[in-house]
Amino acid sequence: MTTAENLDQPQIAITLPDGNVRTYAAGVTGLEIAQSISKSLAKAALAVTVDGEERDLSRAIEHDAKVAILTRDAPYALELIRHDCAHILAEAVQQLYPGTQVTIGPAIATGFYYDFARDEPFTPDDLVKIEKRMHEIVDADSPFTREVWDRDEAIAHFKSIGEHYKAEIIGDIPAGEKITIYRQGGWYDLCRGPHLPSTSKIGHAFKLMKVAGAYWRGDSRNPMLQRIYGTAWRTEKELAEHLHQIEEAEKRDHRKLGREMDLFHLQEEAAGSVFWHPKGWTLWQALERYIRAKLKEAGYLEVRTPQLYDSSLFKASGHWDMYGDNMFKIRESVDDQGREKFLGLKPMNCPAHVQIFRQGLKSYRDLPMRLAEFGACHRNEPSGALHGILRVRAFTQDDAHIFCTEDQVPSEAADYFKLQLGVYKDLGFDKIAVKLALRPDVRAGSDEVWDKAEQGLRDALTANGLEFEELPGEGAFYGPKVEFHLTDAIGRTWQCGTLQLDFVLPERLDASYIGADGARHRPVMLHRAILGSFERFIGMMIEHYAGKFPLWLSPVQATVCTITSEADAYAEDVAKVMAKAGLRVEVDTRNEKINFKVREHSLAKVPVLVVVGGREAENRTVALRRLGGKDQELLSLDDAVAALKLEARAPVPSEGVTEAAF
């Protein structure tokens, strides 16, 4: 189909997403292609992809290409909106606060930010003014226009107007590379693009969130800048949903709930390590007993390995070179030649498990061997990255390593997937995304080995009917990995369990078994975790459940509360009966009104209040009140205990009733 108005110009073939091929004059723009298809498409168009590269609608296309018109529903559109919001933010700031220098302003996961150099700090009132001006700039509907500048002239220009940070950025761009500037009305900025056609296309679904400090280029030796964060979405509805999620996240913050429920605390003297209180440790133990029972059922052998190792082990495994900056190292001694000998705290359990496998001669009949450990690990996380119990330096992994033959990989992977997904279902997570992280740039092992490992995981996922997304460059240095991303109650995602297929570590650490042919062979090593780290998973669960755990996991499953002091003795008797049945129970006989007790124990997220007074003592009954409910259920003591005992059963047949609190 020919749509070119000037057939004397060179013609190019444009292939559309539906496979339809249209002919246009060279130099046609994305907007012109959209207009030739339909007026409605041209009106909705935001950008275009040319052979997969995102471009402005106004950019000329000079060669045959595959072209797709991007509208607001396209996945990339949201990134464009957020990127443009960063430009709008910078323009608004410089209009309101002349003399402020701009630096960088990218789109990020839920919005955008821009870093500014300004002597005076921005205040919350400033953010209100800036946001108002941003809406005015959007309404002005100024077009985004692209210009190509000479590099040296661009440096000189930005220096001349006092934009020294921008000049420095341009100076770092290699000579000969194009310098592109985007204008919106009278304001302009250095940018690769692309951008929306005009400012009005951004819409008004954005909001400025906060101001934070940020060092120039992320280096603490450089000046401190002011970073303004914002969030931006396609529609006002999406913005409202996001703001509601933030509000919910604040209510569910595991640090806040951890204090209210008396689960744990953190303090500067042990930065990155958790002080577990009795109730928090009870929660931990309930989760550990559940996982241990599931592992036993699945044929795992539990082991325990040391914390401190000579550096030679980590050098042999590759961790010393590849992961050394994240390890805690201890200088043990210095020899006569001044050579230092170092020890390292283990950051992961895999080299230690290989040492157990290597003890004694192994036969193919011993495989698969599944070694599991609730292994304590330490990683030297930057202090600024620490966050409650979600990001710590000392943590415990529900780690396991499966040593098997290549032929056993499909069945072992299938068993793992079944175990993994079953655990997540038991723990209240049913929305799970699966991703396959592929070879990173810095890695151990040959490309042939990586090809085999990556294809092995692809085949395992496909064979088990699991849809997955591939993540290039995000695998471990010794092998690709399957990642499980859980979605919580308010729509956030958390990367938890992993399965890694590794041909490298058994080779590096000289692990072998005797095959049926009588020769030595290298085992395949499957690294797998279900929860990841207990600390992080518990923090995630606190926020997912907002502290309202299912009964089998709750640190305190029931509190017996008295209405009057005449029921004190009966309350103690009720608690003893419940504890004997395996329930974790406390008693509250304080001389306080029952409504006060209900509020206090509700704040502590106790799932069941067992209310007793004189009448209940006389009739040997109890009134059960559920967390968040207003109604009470009157039952005989025996019936109440039987019902709670059944409800408190952990979801592992061999585990039985939850044990009483220690």
Beta bridge partners, 197, equal none
- Please indicate whether residue 481 is annotated as part of the active site: yes
Coil/strand/helix, residue 177: coil
Coil/strand/helix, residue 220: coil
| pLDDT at residue 655 greater than cutoff 70 | no
Q: Say what the alpha-carbon torsion angle 71, 73, 78, 80 is, to the nearest 10 degrees.
A: -10
From the candidates 350, 404, 496, 561, which is the catalytic residue?
A: 350
Which pLDDT value is given to residue 660?
A: 35
Which pLDDT value is given to residue 321?
A: 87
- Please indicate whether residue 262 is annotated as part of the active site: no
Model confidence at 578, in pLDDT bands (50, 70, 90)? very high
- Alpha-carbon distance of 46 to 40, in angstroms, equals 12
| pLDDT at residue 473 greater than cutoff 60 | yes
From the candidates 56, 126, 189, 399, which is the catalytic residue?
A: 399
Which pLDDT value is given to residue 605?
A: 95
Which pLDDT value is given to residue 580?
A: 96
User: Which burial class, exposed, middle or buried, applies to 467 when counting CB atoms under 10 A from its CB (0-12, 13-18, 19+)?
Assistant: exposed
Model confidence at 653, in pLDDT bands (50, 70, 90)? low
- Please indicate whether residue 527 is annotated as part of the active site: yes
From the candidates 227, 254, 521, 527, which is the catalytic residue?
A: 527
Model confidence at 383, in pLDDT bands (50, 70, 90)? confident
Mean model confidence pLDDT for the chain:
92
Model confidence at 349, in pLDDT bands (50, 70, 90)? very high
Q: What is the pLDDT of residues 215-233, one digit of tens each?
A: 999 888 999 999 999 999 9
Specify the CATH class of 551-648 in words. Answer: alpha beta
From the candidates 22, 55, 379, 528, which is the catalytic residue?
A: 379
From the candidates 401, 435, 528, 605, which is the catalytic residue?
A: 401
Which pLDDT value is given to residue 360?
A: 94
More confident residue, 66 or 4: 66
Which pLDDT value is given to residue 340?
A: 81
Share of the chain above pLDDT 70, in %: 97
Catalogue the long-range contacts made by 166-174 (C-beta closer than 8 Å, 24 or more residues apart).
166/101, 166/102, 166/103, 166/190, 169/103, 169/104
| Contacts (Cβ under 8 Å, ≥6 apart) of 555 | 261, 263, 279, 280, 282, 283, 286, 549, 584, 661
- Please indicate whether residue 210 is annotated as part of the active site: no
**Which residue ranges does the chain devote to CATH 3.30.930.10?**
268-307+346-545
Token pair belonging to 453: 């490992």
Q: What is the pLDDT of residues 98-136, one digit of tens each?
A: 999 999 999 998 999 999 999 999 999 999 999 999 999
Which pLDDT value is given to residue 4?
A: 45
Average pLDDT over residues 383-412: 94
| pLDDT at residue 662 greater than cutoff 50 | no
Q: Cα 417 to chain center, whole Å?
A: 20
Q: What is the pLDDT of residues 15-65, one digit of tens each?
A: 999 999 999 999 999 999 999 999 999 999 999 999 999 999 999 999 999
63 labeled binding residue = no
Which pLDDT value is given to residue 276?
A: 98
Which pLDDT value is given to residue 177?
A: 82
Beta bridge partners, 68, equal 49
Architecture field, domain 11-71: Roll (3.10)
Under CATH, which number does the domain 76-250 receive?
3.30.980.10
Q: What is the pLDDT of residues 197-218, one digit of tens each?
A: 999 999 999 999 999 999 999 8
**Which residue ranges does the chain devote to CATH 3.40.50.800?**
551-648
Whether domain 268-307+346-545 has CATH 3.40.30.10:
no
| pLDDT at residue 331 greater than cutoff 60 | yes
Q: Cα 101 to chain center, whole Å?
A: 33
Which pLDDT value is given to residue 8?
A: 66
Share of the chain above pLDDT 90, in %: 82
Enter the pTM of the model.
0.81
The residue written with tokens 């990134």 in the block is 79
277 labeled binding residue = no
| pLDDT at residue 333 greater than cutoff 90 | no
- At 352, which helix (H) or strand (E)? helix 350-358
Helix/strand/coil percent split, the chain, to 5: 40, 30, 35
From the candidates 55, 126, 292, 397, which is the catalytic residue?
A: 397
- Alpha-carbon distance of 23 to 331, in angstroms, equals 70
Model confidence at 304, in pLDDT bands (50, 70, 90)? very high
More confident residue, 384 or 564: 564
- Please indicate whether residue 401 is annotated as part of the active site: yes
Average pLDDT over residues 406-424: 93
265 labeled binding residue = no
From the candidates 481, 508, 536, 597, which is the catalytic residue?
A: 481
- Please indicate whether residue 397 is annotated as part of the active site: yes
- Please indicate whether residue 597 is annotated as part of the active site: no
State the SS3 of 450-486: HHHHHHHHHHHHHHCCCCCEEECCCCECCECEEEEEE
**Which residue ranges does the chain devote to CATH 3.10.20.30?**
11-71
| pLDDT at residue 287 greater than cutoff 80 | yes
| pLDDT at residue 441 greater than cutoff 90 | no
Helix count (H) and strand count (E) of the chain?
20, 35
Cβ proximity of 388 and 275 under 8 Å:
no
Which pLDDT value is given to residue 7?
A: 57
| pLDDT at residue 324 greater than cutoff 70 | yes
| pLDDT at residue 337 greater than cutoff 80 | no
Model confidence at 476, in pLDDT bands (50, 70, 90)? confident
